[in-house]
Amino acid sequence: MSIRGLAIETSGSVGSVALVQDGIVVASDIFPHGLQHAAKIIPAIDALCTAQRWLPADIREVYVSAGPGSFTGLRIGITLAKTLAFATGAKVVPVPTVNVLAQNAPVEARYLIIVLDAKRGQIFTARFEKFDDAWVVQQEARLSTLADMLADSPRPVYLLGEGLPYHADKIPAGDASVICAAEETWRASASAVAKLGYAAAQRGEFVDAMQLTPIYIRMPEAQEKWEAARREISAK
């Protein structure tokens, strides 16, 4: 029986969705970041389903980019995945965003560091190595600095992600063994989410929608401030 799925990517500056049939993307769309994720994502999915003559109940699997990334964007994507699961009974597969981004790496790359801006001089990152055309995590998604990640990485290493412009001063000048991937590869895509999500679904790696949460790595800034204020009040 054919398996129809929906892939959701809302972690970065451009969101995207894709309809997937037996692991093949049959239709996709993109939309801007921020509030546009919330405003555009449902109409985008509806338009794609209408064009393919799919009903909501036809979507049996949902693959969602789970983070790290934009706190607002991740909440939107995860909430949508949960809502679809509750409403239609679709199964859900969360896909780490760093793994999604690794799919954009140049074919000649062997070592890869993901660079997403976490502010305060830090990055959300992970380090990968390629074996037989498959990217394997060597350091899991974490909060770190680009300098520390480079210190731990073999060379030559490729850097990829929307955080690169914010941390360009940490890239060693004149070091040809540290290579920035082309800017068009810096954003995650629903098509890559579909590829990884479908493969994980084939392995049975579903999660209970009630337990589905974003991979934040660190608390959102507003929550950190609230926790700090609460500790300050408790200390008085």
Same fold, 4-97+188-219 and 105-185: yes
Q: DSSP assignment of 98-141, as one string?
A: HHHHHTTS-TT-SEEEEEEEEETTEEEEEEEEEETTEEEEEEEE
The pLDDT of residue 59 is 97
- The C-alpha atoms of residue 193 and residue 40 are separated, in whole angstroms, by 19
Instruction: Give yes or no for a contact between 187 and 49, defined as CB atoms under 8 angstroms apart.
Output: no
Instruction: Give yes or no for a contact between 153 and 139, defined as CB atoms under 8 angstroms apart.
Output: no
pLDDT in tens, 6-64: 999 999 999 999 999 999 999 999 987 655 667 889 999 999 999 999 999 999 999 99
**pLDDT tier at 224, thresholds 50, 70, 90:** low
Phi, psi of 200 (to 5 degrees): -65, -40
The pLDDT of residue 9 is 96
The answer as to CATH 3.40.50.720 being correct for domain 4-97+188-219 is no
The pLDDT of residue 39 is 80
Instruction: Give yes or no for a contact between 180 and 164, defined as CB atoms under 8 angstroms apart.
Output: yes
User: What is the pLDDT averaged over residues 225-236?
Assistant: 55
- The C-alpha atoms of residue 169 and residue 157 are separated, in whole angstroms, by 17
* Superfamily of the domain at 105-185: ATPase, nucleotide binding domain (3.30.420.40)
The pLDDT of residue 83 is 96
CB atoms within 10 A of CB 64: 31
pLDDT in tens, 117-176: 999 999 999 999 999 999 999 999 999 999 999 999 999 999 999 999 999 999 999 999
Identify the helix (H) or strand (E) that includes residue 134.
Answer: strand 134-144
Q: Which of 4, 159, 162 is nearest to 68 (CA)?
A: 162
- The C-alpha atoms of residue 184 and residue 154 are separated, in whole angstroms, by 24
Instruction: Give yes or no for a contact between 130 and 92, defined as CB atoms under 8 angstroms apart.
Output: no
- The C-alpha atoms of residue 184 and residue 83 are separated, in whole angstroms, by 31
**Domain definitions of the chain by residue range:** 4-97+188-219, 105-185
- The C-alpha atoms of residue 30 and residue 44 are separated, in whole angstroms, by 8
Q: What tokens appear for 195 in the block?
A: 């590829």
Output the pTM of the full model.
0.91
**Residue 144: half-sphere exposure toward Cβ, Cα within 13 Å:** 18
Tally: H helices and E strands in the chain: 6, 10
